[in-house]
Protein backbone atom coordinates (compact mmCIF):
# COMPACT_ATOMS: atom_id res chain seq x y z
CA UNK A 1 0.00 0.00 0.00
CA UNK A 2 1.32 3.41 -0.96
CA UNK A 3 2.23 5.92 1.77
CA UNK A 4 -0.57 8.25 0.67
CA UNK A 5 -3.16 5.46 0.88
CA UNK A 6 -1.97 4.55 4.40
CA UNK A 7 -2.34 8.16 5.51
CA UNK A 8 -5.86 8.38 4.05
CA UNK A 9 -6.81 5.10 5.74
CA UNK A 10 -5.55 6.35 9.12
CA UNK A 11 -7.39 9.66 8.71
CA UNK A 12 -10.59 7.81 7.81
CA UNK A 13 -10.29 5.61 10.92
CA UNK A 14 -9.70 8.69 13.08
CA UNK A 15 -12.78 10.38 11.60
CA UNK A 16 -14.88 7.27 12.26
CA UNK A 17 -13.66 7.16 15.86
CA UNK A 18 -14.52 10.85 16.36
CA UNK A 19 -17.99 10.25 14.88
CA UNK A 20 -18.59 7.32 17.26
CA UNK A 21 -17.44 9.35 20.27
CA UNK A 22 -19.55 12.35 19.20
CA UNK A 23 -22.61 10.14 18.66
CA UNK A 24 -22.16 8.62 22.11
CA UNK A 25 -21.79 12.04 23.70
CA UNK A 26 -24.84 13.34 21.84
CA UNK A 27 -26.93 10.33 22.93
CA UNK A 28 -25.88 10.80 26.57
CA UNK A 29 -26.75 14.51 26.40
CA UNK A 30 -30.18 13.61 25.02
CA UNK A 31 -30.71 11.16 27.89
CA UNK A 32 -29.74 13.84 30.42
CA UNK A 33 -32.07 16.39 28.82
CA UNK A 34 -34.94 13.89 28.86
CA UNK A 35 -34.13 13.11 32.49
CA UNK A 36 -34.27 16.82 33.37
CA UNK A 37 -37.55 17.34 31.49
CA UNK A 38 -39.26 14.34 33.13
CA UNK A 39 -37.91 15.35 36.54
CA UNK A 40 -39.36 18.85 36.18
CA UNK A 41 -42.79 17.45 35.33
CA UNK A 42 -42.75 15.13 38.35
CA UNK A 43 -41.56 17.74 40.88
CA UNK A 44 -45.06 18.33 42.25
CA UNK A 45 -43.81 19.66 45.61
CA UNK A 46 -40.68 21.54 44.57
CA UNK A 47 -42.15 24.80 45.85
CA UNK A 48 -45.03 25.82 48.09
CA UNK A 49 -46.94 27.17 45.09
CA UNK A 50 -46.42 23.95 43.09
CA UNK A 51 -49.46 21.87 42.14
CA UNK A 52 -49.12 19.77 45.32
CA UNK A 53 -47.07 22.23 47.34
CA UNK A 54 -49.24 21.64 50.41
CA UNK A 55 -47.64 18.18 50.68
CA UNK A 56 -44.15 19.67 50.87
CA UNK A 57 -43.97 19.51 54.71
CA UNK A 58 -44.79 15.78 54.59
CA UNK A 59 -42.10 15.24 51.94
CA UNK A 60 -39.60 17.05 54.14
CA UNK A 61 -40.48 14.75 57.04
CA UNK A 62 -39.66 11.80 54.78
CA UNK A 63 -36.40 13.56 53.94
CA UNK A 64 -35.42 13.90 57.60
CA UNK A 65 -36.49 10.32 58.36
CA UNK A 66 -33.74 9.04 56.04
CA UNK A 67 -31.11 11.67 56.81
CA UNK A 68 -27.75 10.29 57.91
CA UNK A 69 -27.47 12.19 61.20
CA UNK A 70 -30.57 10.68 62.92
CA UNK A 71 -29.53 7.21 61.79
CA UNK A 72 -25.98 7.63 63.08
CA UNK A 73 -27.15 9.00 66.42
CA UNK A 74 -29.78 6.29 66.93
CA UNK A 75 -27.35 3.52 65.98
CA UNK A 76 -24.61 4.79 68.30
CA UNK A 77 -27.15 5.27 71.11
CA UNK A 78 -28.35 1.70 70.53
CA UNK A 79 -24.80 0.39 70.81
CA UNK A 80 -24.34 2.26 74.09
CA UNK A 81 -27.46 0.60 75.53
CA UNK A 82 -27.18 -2.88 73.98
CA UNK A 83 -26.24 -5.88 76.13
CA UNK A 84 -27.22 -8.90 74.06
CA UNK A 85 -24.45 -10.04 71.65
CA UNK A 86 -26.88 -10.43 68.74
CA UNK A 87 -28.07 -6.83 69.16
CA UNK A 88 -24.50 -5.54 69.32
CA UNK A 89 -23.71 -7.48 66.14
CA UNK A 90 -26.64 -6.00 64.21
CA UNK A 91 -26.01 -2.44 65.40
CA UNK A 92 -22.28 -2.57 64.75
CA UNK A 93 -22.77 -3.83 61.21
CA UNK A 94 -25.50 -1.27 60.65
CA UNK A 95 -23.05 1.47 61.65
CA UNK A 96 -20.49 0.08 59.20
CA UNK A 97 -23.15 0.06 56.47
CA UNK A 98 -23.99 3.70 57.18
CA UNK A 99 -20.31 4.66 56.96
CA UNK A 100 -19.96 2.71 53.72
CA UNK A 101 -22.98 4.53 52.28
CA UNK A 102 -21.80 8.04 53.10
CA UNK A 103 -18.31 7.26 51.76
CA UNK A 104 -19.45 5.80 48.44
CA UNK A 105 -22.10 8.47 47.82
CA UNK A 106 -19.82 11.33 48.87
CA UNK A 107 -16.98 10.22 46.60
CA UNK A 108 -19.35 9.66 43.66
CA UNK A 109 -20.89 13.11 44.09
CA UNK A 110 -17.44 14.73 44.09
CA UNK A 111 -16.37 12.81 40.97
CA UNK A 112 -19.56 13.28 38.91
CA UNK A 113 -20.46 16.80 40.15
CA UNK A 114 -23.92 16.87 38.60
CA UNK A 115 -25.87 19.94 39.65
CA UNK A 116 -29.19 19.58 41.43
CA UNK A 117 -32.38 20.37 39.50
CA UNK A 118 -32.78 24.09 38.81
CA UNK A 119 -36.11 24.14 40.67
CA UNK A 120 -34.66 22.67 43.89
CA UNK A 121 -35.02 24.83 46.98
CA UNK A 122 -31.81 24.71 49.04
CA UNK A 123 -33.61 24.31 52.36
CA UNK A 124 -32.36 20.81 53.09
CA UNK A 125 -31.75 19.58 56.62
CA UNK A 126 -28.10 19.65 57.85
CA UNK A 127 -26.15 19.72 54.59
CA UNK A 128 -22.42 19.79 53.77
CA UNK A 129 -20.57 20.93 50.64
CA UNK A 130 -20.99 17.68 48.66
CA UNK A 131 -24.75 18.00 49.09
CA UNK A 132 -24.66 20.70 46.43
CA UNK A 133 -24.27 17.86 43.92
CA UNK A 134 -27.10 15.65 42.79
CA UNK A 135 -25.73 12.32 41.53
CA UNK A 136 -26.40 9.90 43.12
CA UNK A 137 -29.17 10.40 45.65
CA UNK A 138 -27.80 9.64 49.11
CA UNK A 139 -31.30 9.31 50.53
CA UNK A 140 -32.20 6.70 47.89
CA UNK A 141 -29.00 4.72 48.47
CA UNK A 142 -29.49 4.80 52.24
CA UNK A 143 -33.17 3.86 51.92
CA UNK A 144 -32.33 0.86 49.74
CA UNK A 145 -29.49 -0.32 51.98
CA UNK A 146 -31.61 0.04 55.13
CA UNK A 147 -34.54 -1.71 53.47
CA UNK A 148 -32.51 -4.84 52.74
CA UNK A 149 -30.72 -4.66 56.08
CA UNK A 150 -33.89 -4.59 58.17
CA UNK A 151 -35.93 -6.97 56.00
CA UNK A 152 -33.19 -9.61 55.92
CA UNK A 153 -31.43 -9.10 59.26
CA UNK A 154 -33.89 -7.59 61.73
CA UNK A 155 -37.56 -8.24 60.93
CA UNK A 156 -39.24 -11.63 60.61
CA UNK A 157 -39.87 -12.60 56.95
CA UNK A 158 -43.34 -11.62 55.79
CA UNK A 159 -44.09 -9.54 58.88
CA UNK A 160 -45.98 -6.26 58.78
CA UNK A 161 -42.71 -4.44 59.54
CA UNK A 162 -41.20 -5.75 56.31
CA UNK A 163 -44.06 -4.29 54.28
CA UNK A 164 -43.87 -0.99 56.15
CA UNK A 165 -40.13 -0.87 55.47
CA UNK A 166 -40.78 -1.34 51.77
CA UNK A 167 -43.36 1.46 51.78
CA UNK A 168 -41.01 3.79 53.66
CA UNK A 169 -38.00 3.05 51.43
CA UNK A 170 -39.88 3.52 48.17
CA UNK A 171 -41.66 6.64 49.50
CA UNK A 172 -38.35 8.24 50.51
CA UNK A 173 -36.84 7.51 47.10
CA UNK A 174 -39.82 8.79 45.10
CA UNK A 175 -40.07 11.89 47.30
CA UNK A 176 -36.59 12.97 46.21
CA UNK A 177 -37.95 13.64 42.73
CA UNK A 178 -41.32 14.98 43.86
CA UNK A 179 -39.59 17.38 46.27
CA UNK A 180 -37.32 18.59 43.48
CA UNK A 181 -34.12 17.49 45.22
CA UNK A 182 -32.90 15.05 42.55
CA UNK A 183 -33.25 14.00 38.95
CA UNK A 184 -34.85 10.64 38.22
CA UNK A 185 -31.54 9.06 37.20
CA UNK A 186 -29.96 10.22 40.46
CA UNK A 187 -32.59 8.33 42.45
CA UNK A 188 -32.46 5.18 40.31
CA UNK A 189 -28.66 5.10 40.53
CA UNK A 190 -28.77 5.80 44.27
CA UNK A 191 -31.22 2.95 44.91
CA UNK A 192 -29.08 0.51 42.90
CA UNK A 193 -25.96 1.64 44.76
CA UNK A 194 -27.73 1.04 48.06
CA UNK A 195 -28.60 -2.52 47.02
CA UNK A 196 -24.97 -3.17 46.05
CA UNK A 197 -23.78 -1.70 49.35
CA UNK A 198 -25.88 -4.16 51.33
CA UNK A 199 -24.38 -7.15 49.52
CA UNK A 200 -20.87 -5.73 49.95
CA UNK A 201 -21.63 -5.35 53.66
CA UNK A 202 -22.64 -9.02 53.79
CA UNK A 203 -19.20 -10.01 52.48
CA UNK A 204 -17.53 -8.18 55.35
CA UNK A 205 -20.13 -8.92 58.04
CA UNK A 206 -18.60 -8.88 61.51
CA UNK A 207 -19.66 -11.67 63.91
CA UNK A 208 -20.84 -10.81 67.41
CA UNK A 209 -17.58 -11.91 69.06
CA UNK A 210 -15.51 -9.56 66.89
CA UNK A 211 -17.95 -6.68 67.39
CA UNK A 212 -17.75 -7.07 71.16
CA UNK A 213 -13.94 -7.25 71.12
CA UNK A 214 -13.76 -4.06 69.04
CA UNK A 215 -16.18 -2.20 71.29
CA UNK A 216 -14.98 -3.60 74.62
CA UNK A 217 -12.42 -0.81 75.32
CA UNK A 218 -15.16 1.79 74.84
CA UNK A 219 -18.21 0.09 76.32
CA UNK A 220 -16.79 0.27 79.85
CA UNK A 221 -16.58 4.07 79.58
CA UNK A 222 -19.66 4.90 77.53
CA UNK A 223 -22.11 2.03 78.04
CA UNK A 224 -25.39 3.15 79.61
CA distance 223 to 32: 50
The predicted-structure confidence for 119-157, as pLDDT tens digits, reads as follows 777 776 666 666 788 899 999 999 999 999 999 999 988
Main-chain dihedrals φ then ψ at residue 159, nearest 5 degrees: -75, 165
Active-site residue (options: 67, 139, 183, 223): 139
CA distance 192 to 196: 6
Torsion of CA 144, 146, 149, 151, to 10 degrees: -80
CA distance 195 to 149: 10
CA distance 111 to 92: 29
This prediction's pTM? 0.82
Which has more confidence, 202 or 10? 202
Residues in the chain: 224
Rg (CA), the chain: 23
Active-site residue (options: 119, 182, 221, 223): 182
Closest C-alpha to 179, from 133, 120, 109, 116:
120
Q: How many CB atoms lie within 10 A of CB 129?
A: 9
Cβ-based neighbours of 48, under 8 Å, separated by 6 or more: 54, 56
Active site residue 221: no
The predicted-structure confidence for 50-64, as pLDDT tens digits, reads as follows 667 777 888 888 889
Active site residue 183: no
Amino acid sequence: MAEGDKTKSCLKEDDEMVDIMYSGKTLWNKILRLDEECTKKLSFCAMLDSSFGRLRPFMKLLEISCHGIPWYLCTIAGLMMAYRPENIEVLMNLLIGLFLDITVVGLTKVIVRRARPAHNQMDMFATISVDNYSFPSGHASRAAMLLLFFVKKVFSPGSMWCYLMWVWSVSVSVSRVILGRHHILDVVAGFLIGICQYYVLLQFWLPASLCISILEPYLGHFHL
